[in-house]
Amino acid sequence: MSASDLEANLDLDATDINPDVDLKIKNIDLSVVLESRAPLRWGICATGLIAHDFVASLVGHEHQHEVVAVASRSLDRARKFADEFKIDTAYGSYEELAKDPKIDIVYVASINTQHRKHCLLFIEHKKHVLCEKPMALTVRDAQEILRSAKQHDVFFMEGMWTAFFPACEKIREIITSGQLGDVRALLANFGQNISHVERISKKDLGGGGLYDLGGYLVYWAIMVFGRAPVSSYTHGFLNTDGVDETYTTTMLYLGGAIATLTCSTKANYQNDVTIVGTKGRIRIPNNLWHPSSFEWINDEEESTFFEFTYPLSDQSYQFGKEWSAMFYEAEAARQAIARGMKEHPLMSWKSSQLMARLLEDARRDLRVKWNDEDLP
Amino acid sequence: MSASDLEANLDLDATDINPDVDLKIKNIDLSVVLESRAPLRWGICATGLIAHDFVASLVGHEHQHEVVAVASRSLDRARKFADEFKIDTAYGSYEELAKDPKIDIVYVASINTQHRKHCLLFIEHKKHVLCEKPMALTVRDAQEILRSAKQHDVFFMEGMWTAFFPACEKIREIITSGQLGDVRALLANFGQNISHVERISKKDLGGGGLYDLGGYLVYWAIMVFGRAPVSSYTHGFLNTDGVDETYTTTMLYLGGAIATLTCSTKANYQNDVTIVGTKGRIRIPNNLWHPSSFEWINDEEESTFFEFTYPLSDQSYQFGKEWSAMFYEAEAARQAIARGMKEHPLMSWKSSQLMARLLEDARRDLRVKWNDEDLP
């Protein structure tokens, strides 16, 4: 199959997600016992804070998930990580991890600028991949990874954990059931005072708010509208290193709906989401990236509150106890793989392509260029 | 004094409001008994719903405010209005109202497209004027009115009642005291499902959300930042008559702060405001155009709630009991006039010019033109 055939099959230029398919599917049903006889066997690529919390979220689910090996550029770091979680194998290179026949799927948790290289490495070794978001810093890299996943016939998913929270499942239910009426507006705000963190401030490290906080905002737009906007504009400020610090993206959708996404790495916002429909609105009051509650307000301004719990866990977490909810995305990946799927409908390849394109559009408006060849 | 002198004195091109002057002045101190020996004597221009609620808000304040006369194009309507409120004089023309020597100040409550004509009429008869917002639908009209007010040495104020609420006074205090730190972002959302109302949908009637809901949003930006943005962009949809229906304005300010204003006449938003500073944030949870409560959230995410009451009133109101708070702006006008001032610092002539300019900038981005000569 030629590259251009693959490209056609991937619908790389198609931007519509089908809401009838993508939004109506329940994300995970933990009560279903799948037929796969063995747990999903994980390899862990990199040993940073998020890898720690991901593995912690799997502990206690031995029947479904087994962490088989962990790799780092430093064997010492890998060993230390393996010891903490009683993982059998530690590797001092990612190539060794890629070659390990005991591994079904690799969780890629390296720094954003390394995602392309690591995803391609594992995919080419026929491993399934769950890659921390953002899967890539450019549309071109995202498409290259997806083409490779298609070519090697492996499961690939961008790790947008937000998609798999029970709160989001209930919200999608309210939207798709018609209870909300036609969606007229999405207002999503995410600001955290993190501009001093090197990973955020430095262009060399893929910095800026866009590919960190901004991805969550764009995911909400994809989840709510299930398609690409007809028009998008981003207005904001860059820092002295040339990456974004504060911005607002406005996206217009067919039918007269609007999404307004505000982002800042300079101040702590409320981190809330409002989805406004013709019959009422949904308010996620905070924590839009790991929502545990929301309010449904009908046209008579009557409120109903919904509250959800995170998965119980006796582990300690680097980013906070709510990160036990990373289990949801791992379990979603397992269930999709057990069914023979190559992508998960709630974070499909099309969704990832759309995410990459919307972030790149914003980057173009803001004039954030990774290098001289980028965004000619 | 020539027209160009007047223009220079008005600082028509100056866009900076001085926050040290404009924001630090307390809006009204109802405990102060001013030296003026007689109540402020009002004439009412037009007899619509908002004129009704304005006059209702003055009832019970005879020592400070007296409604002397009301005028309409229809003498019948004026008489009916006068009867309801026991007003002595009813006129069937605005010229008669303008010539009535018993009147100190006219409240202009006609339809937006008539504001220019009516303001000029009363100003030229040396009446003070409180004009419902928006004072004009173009920068040119706003400047013409202000020039005339200066030339005739009368008090003029655009009726932005929001400015004078106790909640806003307390919010300004938190901002100017430094408690909030540097302001980094303003997020203000105002949407009401009113696109079926003719006044909103028809271009001939000065329709659209911008000059109705949008003025409040811009006022919040003026109140919080006290200056013009360095850059502004508006993105949105028009209706089939060519006026705006849904839009978002993003404004960038010196120092890296951002304002995001979202507006819709097609859906009921939360109508909330968040002001984010380096030391915490202020959340007005709803009713941004007549705020009665807000939340102060410090950097440790600890909340303090503030609640305020509207003025007590035994009147009935067309738009709801909170409209008794129109008394605040009337009283602010009285106190300014009693002190010999020609403008009120909380809704100064510069503020009105800035408001007109920001709305016109948005209109230009959205390509809303009142006629072929508008916005060449």
Q: Give the pLDDT confidence of A41-82 residue by residue, as tens digits.
A: 999 999 999 999 999 999 999 989 999 999 999 999 999 999
Confidence tier at A1 by pLDDT (50, 70, 90):
very low
Nearest CA in chain B to A232: B235
CB contact under 8 A, A269 and B264: no
Q: CA torsion sign, A151 to A155 to A160 to A163?
A: positive
Find where tokens 């903490």 sit. Answer: A84
Contact A169, A163 (CB under 8 A): no
Interval B165-214: pLDDT, tens: 999 999 999 999 999 999 999 999 999 999 999 999 999 999 999 999 99
User: Where do the H-state alpha helices sit in chain B?
Assistant: 3-10, 19-22, 49-58, 75-85, 94-99, 115-124, 139-151, 166-176, 198-201, 215-225, 326-338, 349-366
What does the pLDDT read at residue B374? 92
Mean pLDDT score across all residues of chain B: 91
Interval B144-168: pLDDT, tens: 999 999 999 999 999 999 999 999 9
What does the pLDDT read at residue A17? 55
Confidence tier at A366 by pLDDT (50, 70, 90):
very high
What does the pLDDT read at residue A278? 96
* Euclidean distance between the first and the last CA atom of chain A, given in angstroms as a whole number: 30
Q: How many Cβ pairs closer than 8 A exist between chain A and B?
A: 114
> Using CA atoms, how far apart are residues B265 and B244, in angstroms rounded to an integer?
8
Of B252, B262, B281, the CB nearest to A260: B262
Interval A171-228: pLDDT, tens: 999 999 999 999 999 999 999 999 999 999 999 999 999 999 999 999 999 999 999 9
Of B235, B252, B274, the CB nearest to A270: B274
CB contact under 8 A, A264 and B189: no
Find where tokens 């998960």 sit. Answer: A344
What does the pLDDT read at residue A376? 78
Nearest CA in chain B to A184: B267
Domains of chain B: 34-160 (3.40.50.720), 166-307+348-366 (3.30.360.10)
Mean pLDDT score across all residues of chain A: 91
In percent, the amount of chain A with pLDDT more than 70 equals 90
Chain B contact for A235 (CB, 8 A cutoff): yes
Q: Which residues of chain B have pLDDT under 50?
A: 1-10, 12-15, 23-26, 30
Q: How far is A153 from chain B (nearest CA, A)?
A: 42
Of A193, A262, A277, the CB nearest to B260: A262
Of A191, A256, A260, the CB nearest to B237: A256
Interval A29-41: pLDDT, tens: 544 555 556 899 9
Find where tokens 């991949």 sit. Answer: A129
* Between B22 and A243, the higher pLDDT residue: A243
**Res A24 pLDDT > 60:** no
On the question of a cis peptide bond just before residue B134, with omega within 30 degrees of 0, the verdict is yes
